[in-house]
Amino acid sequence: MKKDELLLNRKSGWDTLNKKEMKTLDGYTNEYIDFLNECKTERECVKYVEKLAKKQGFKELDKCKTLKPGDKVYYINRDKNILLAVIGNEQLEKGINLIGSHIDSPRIDLKPNPLYESEGFALFKTHYYGGIKKYQWVTIPLEIRGVIIKTNGEKVEISIGKDKDDPIFVITDLLPHLARRQMEKKLSEGIEGEDLNILVGNIPSEDKEANEKVKYNILKILNEKYGITEADFISSELELVPNFEAKLVGFDKSMIAGYGQDDRVCSFASAKAIMDLTEIPNKTCVAMLMDKEEIGSMGNTGMCSNTLDFMLMEMAVKLKQESYNLLNKLYINTKMLSSDVDAAFDPTFAGVSDPKNSSFIGKGICLLKYTGARGKSGSSEACAEYVAYVRKIFEDNNVRYQSGELGKVDEGGGGTIAYIVADKGADVIDCGVPVLSMHSPYEVTSKHDCYMAYKGYKEFLKK
């Protein structure tokens, strides 16, 4: 055995790609950047992926009366989850190859009664969603995207800030000259949750009877444009998201900066991977893009819901494969990649990571045997046998991978949707792209790793 083969390869992954693959990588990157710019909410992701899937021959599951191996179907749950499946040759009870990612990202939501006037300004009250460092969200351009549902059922879709001529929105911060007290506070308290107020207007209405003239003027503008009243905000889902365009980073253009890469980088890779399967797979393959991961995976669009079970049973009936104890047998034989991002090593903040066990940008897709906090608390640790199974797929197919962990022991921690499916009996390992500045308005990944995720997921599904 050569010395090289005896040692764990922890080199940069850029040398694994040949010329042809470099071209594929560039095409993939362009499409991914387009996806990031188009899709800044769960609903937008679902729409985008549905359109792409239809082009690739996927059909709505509800519209298929029967199914057979090779059929491609998708199921959409409440416009916030999309699950794509390719029916394999083997029976469902033998298990499926599953990839699970999430399409919700940290952001700032509007409160149900957001609009108010103060000292000649109209502002929106907000409630942040997911784990954010609040100080990162002030004085940056924000867009509003989402929906308002009127009581008559009409859905008003809102997207303001994306088009060149659109206005943007902003949260103010204190000037340094007057920030003496603020600067003495802890970083977590410098900007507080109730300080995240959005500037939305400053011109008073000419209406003599209106009390709050600036607020009234904004409501008039919204009513004229969207036909909504103040009460309609109560039944809305409006998200403030960064107005940053996704871009290549560095003189060598090796990295990608963009909002929402946790976890749209893995969502995009898994959706593309399942769509690009060219042959009928042995096992039925499912790629699911879930919601609510950032706030605990609860509710009827989160991973804790029965969305996947429902889809699997629908497929079983249409395949005439319903049988005694089917779901339990299926899950016990299922292999899953929980495709979520990992915290990459950052040389500027080296202290929080163990460099020997941290994942690095540019060194490939990352396998996390466990997540959790403190003594691995809350983690569904993958079995060594299963880790070896996934390693072999990657090594046999020239997929550059690395192992990682979520920071130093006792430094912090976190979780993904892995444990939810592992609880049902499946083998699950976290396997995703390393990210710098995770949960910030502008996260950074490596082009190489994004492409490796796509390549790795495809090989995993094919197995």
- Helix-helix angle 447-462:19-38, to 10 degrees: 100
Distance CA 295, CA 123 (A): 26
CB of 117 or CB of 262, closer to Mn ion: 262
The residue range among 235-243, 260-268, 381-389, 421-429 that interacts with Mn ion, by the rule CB under 5 A, is 260-268
Q: Which of residues 345-374 bind Mn ion (CB under 5 A)?
A: none
Question: Least distance (Å) from Mn ion to the CB of residue 452?
Answer: 18
Structure-block tokens of residue 451: 């492409």
| Closer of 312 and 367 to Mn ion (Cβ) | 367
Q: Of 26-34, 48-56, 258-266, 322-330, which part binds Mn ion (CB under 5 A)?
A: 258-266
Pick between residue 214 and residue 289 the one whose CB is nearest to Mn ion: 289
Q: Which of 42, 104, 143, 262 binds Mn ion (CB under 5 A)?
A: 262
Q: Using CB under 5 A, which of the segments 72-80, 148-156, 332-340, 385-393 binds Mn ion? A: 332-340
Cβ proximity to Mn ion, 236 vs 379, nearer residue:
379
Q: Say whether residue 291 binds Mn ion (CB under 5 A).
A: no
Query: Segment contacting Mn ion (CB under 5 A): 203-211, 276-284, 297-305, 335-343?
Result: 335-343
Using CB atoms, what's the residue nearest to Mn ion? 263
**Nearest CB to Mn ion, comparing residues 333 and 402:** 402
Rounded least distance, CB 129 to Mn ion, Å: 11
Check binding of 104 to Mn ion (CB under 5 A).
no
Candidates 198-206, 229-237, 336-344, 404-412; binding stretch for Mn ion (CB under 5 A): 336-344
- Could you tell me which stretch among 14-22, 64-72, 339-347, 404-412 binds Mn ion (CB under 5 A)? 339-347
Identified binder of Mn ion from the candidate list 340, 427, 443, 449, rule CB under 5 A: 340
Q: Which is nearer to Mn ion, 86 or 99 (CB)?
A: 99
Beta carbon nearer to Mn ion, 93 or 340? 340
Whose Cβ is closer to Mn ion: residue 71's or residue 262's?
262
Quick one: three-class SS letters along the chain? Answer: CCHHHHCCCCCCCHHHCCHHHHHHHHHHHHHHHHHHHHCCCHHHHHHHHHHHHHHCCCEEHHHCCCCCCCCEEEEEECCCEEEEEECCCCCHHHCEEEEEEECCCCEEEEEEEEEEEECCEEEEEEEEECCCCHHHHCCCCEEEEEEEECCCCCEEEEEECCCCCCCCEEECCCCHHHCHHHHHCCHHHHCCHHHCCEEEECCCCCCCCCCCHHHHHHHHHHHHHHCCCHHHHHHEEEEEEECCCCEEECCCCCEEEECCHHHHHHHHHHHHHHHCCCCCCCCEEEEEEECCHHHCCCCCCCCCCCHHHHHHHHHHHHCCCCCCCHHHHHHHCCEEEECCCEEECCHHHHHHCCCCCCECCCCCEEEECCCEECCCECCCCCCHHHHHHHHHHHHHCCCCEEECCCCCCCCCEECCCHHHHHCCCCEEEEEECEEECCCCCCEEEEHHHHHHHHHHHHHHHHC
Report the residue from 143, 232, 239, 263 that binds Mn ion according to the rule CB under 5 A: 263
- Is the link from the previous residue into 62 a cis peptide, with omega within 30 of 0? no
Q: Minimum CB separation from Mn ion for residue 240, in Å? A: 17
Site string for Mn ion, 204-243 (x = CB under 5 A): ----------------------------------------
Per CB under 5 A, the segment of 237-245, 249-257, 263-271, 321-329 that binds Mn ion is 263-271
**C-beta of 61 vs 98, nearer to Mn ion:** 98
Number of residues that bind Mn ion (CB under 5 A): 3
Looking at the Cβ atoms of 262 and 346, the one nearer to Mn ion is 262
Chain contacts with Mn ion (rule: CB under 5 A): 262-263, 340
